[in-house]
Chains A and B, each alone.
Chain A
């Protein structure tokens, strides 16, 4: 990045910034809005979002998706991933994403299984 070339578009070119500094403040505003939405949802917990969807409450899915959105902007704009080569991006992101998804999948599945054993497997845990 010796040539100081920053890509100044976010949201697939929906918002274009004039300078890198301006983009930083823009991303800050975006992250603040997302965090505020999370906190407000966390405090009020709307009844309509408490229904279960794919084994988890819709509200929790919203939290996780918003977190990934925040992670994307931190990595892409604060850590300048947007300006790196495509191959560096893939080396870092795909490795982490693949391994983390695998880890989460096996551990959560196992946790759910242990829960079922405790609950229905005639195992007494409270004496």
Chain B
């Protein structure tokens, strides 16, 4: 360090530099201030989510019914996978803090090991999030969107969800095909068509006596309202506009499109933070290996990235609560 920092001869004087206000080094304090501003960005997103949710408080999707999948397992397991992701992130926070602790004791091998574990934890988390996005985008049961933009889902008489593929009557002679650039005008095309048309869903609904329509309105028991058989048929016949499978930024089979928008935006922004955290961790990991901090005689850099990494964990704790629990 001595040959890189020019001595000014004013050390020890108040304005001479080298002071540590609040007894924190410059880098660490700036990391804290960055964290405060980033925390405000995230709370802006989460508060906007709260705003939209309060705006549609009587028809917002119920998270338990949306996130029910676990990789490699079939069936209905609400919350389990997100809880696992939360645990992975907390665990990687623990290995990070152990790396910082080992750094204080100048134990290079231990710092390397714990940094490595932290990176693995971060990768598992980002991978899980990618999987969850994939599942969310692909969808499961399918739904019908009305002219007014509301989502109608299907249940059987016991209240269990029914997928479109289980009851829609496929019309062998349907003429509607996807418009591709090669088939019509070269400058026009459209996205993938839904597997079924509204007419096929309606035929299926008419043929299956035990299928009912479920609207998004939450009743007094905190559950989505199920319509009577006659009302179900009427809704699909009069108002059904579009078959929706999965979710994107325009439509969302789970309910309000805003829910999907915020899901992509908030978990995406958080996932981006985790990703950049992993990249920074990898850089620091290699710096540890080549002995940069050993020569500097201080592992403070590990502590600074540690602060960032814990912050990512901290944000996830809030995202977990407001997206999946409340």
Does B279 belong to the interface (CB within 8 Å)? no
Which residues of chain A are within 8 angstroms of B52 by Cβ–Cβ distance? 111
Quote the shortest CB–CB distance from A103 to chain B (angstroms). 5
Quote the shortest CB–CB distance from B235 to chain A (angstroms). 11
Judge whether B148 and A127 touch: CB under 8 Å.
yes
Judge whether A35 and B51 touch: CB under 8 Å.
no
Partner of A91, one of B22, B53, B91, B313: B22
Does B325 belong to the interface (CB within 8 Å)? yes
Stretch at the interface among B40-48, B155-163, B164-172: B40-48
Quote the shortest CB–CB distance from A28 to chain B (angstroms). 5
Partner of A38, one of B47, B100, B321: B321
In the complex formed, the residue of A with least CB distance to B42 is: A100
Judge whether B32 and A88 touch: CB under 8 Å.
yes
Assembly CA distance A92 to B307 (angstroms): 13
Judge whether B50 and A88 touch: CB under 8 Å.
no
Which residues of chain B are within 8 angstroms of A66 by Cβ–Cβ distance? 321
B25-61: CB near A (< 8 Å → 1, else 0) gives 0000100110110011001100110111111111000
Interface residues of B in 173-196 (CB under 8 A from A): none
Judge whether A103 and B43 touch: CB under 8 Å.
yes
Assembly CA distance A4 to B320 (angstroms): 33
Judge whether A126 and B54 touch: CB under 8 Å.
no
Assembly CA distance A114 to B64 (angstroms): 26
Assembly CA distance A66 to B317 (angstroms): 10
Judge whether B43 and A100 touch: CB under 8 Å.
yes
Q: Evaluate whether A39 and B83 lie within 8 angstroms (CB atoms) in the complex, with A92-B32, A108-B54 already known.
A: yes
Does A70 belong to the interface (CB within 8 Å)? yes
A59-84: CB near B (< 8 Å → 1, else 0) gives 01001101100110011011110001
Judge whether A21 and B24 touch: CB under 8 Å.
no
Which residues of chain A are within 8 angstroms of B80 by Cβ–Cβ distance? 39
Quote the shortest CB–CB distance from A35 to chain B (angstroms). 6
Judge whether B55 and A25 touch: CB under 8 Å.
no
Judge whether B87 and A126 touch: CB under 8 Å.
no
Judge whether B325 and A42 touch: CB under 8 Å.
yes
Judge whether A28 and B321 touch: CB under 8 Å.
no
Judge whether A78 and B43 touch: CB under 8 Å.
no
Interface residues of B in 275-326 (CB under 8 A from A): 303, 306-307, 310-311, 313-314, 317-318, 320-321, 324-326
Interface residues of B in 79-132 (CB under 8 A from A): 79-80, 83, 86-87, 90-91, 93-94, 96-98, 100-101, 104-105
Does A8 belong to the interface (CB within 8 Å)? no
In the complex formed, the residue of A with least CB distance to B100 is: A80
Judge whether A104 and B101 touch: CB under 8 Å.
no
In the complex formed, the residue of B with least CB distance to A60 is: B326
User: What are 13 inter-chain pairs, A to B, with CB distance below 8 A?
Assistant: A25-B94, A35-B83, A35-B90, A60-B326, A71-B314, A78-B96, A78-B97, A79-B306, A79-B310, A88-B32, A95-B36, A111-B52, A111-B54
Residues of B that sit less than 8 Å from A by CB:
22-24, 29, 32-33, 35-36, 39-40, 43-44, 47-48, 50-58, 64, 78-80, 83, 86-87, 90-91, 93-94, 96-98, 100-101, 104-105, 146-150, 222, 303, 306-307, 310-311, 313-314, 317-318, 320-321, 324-326
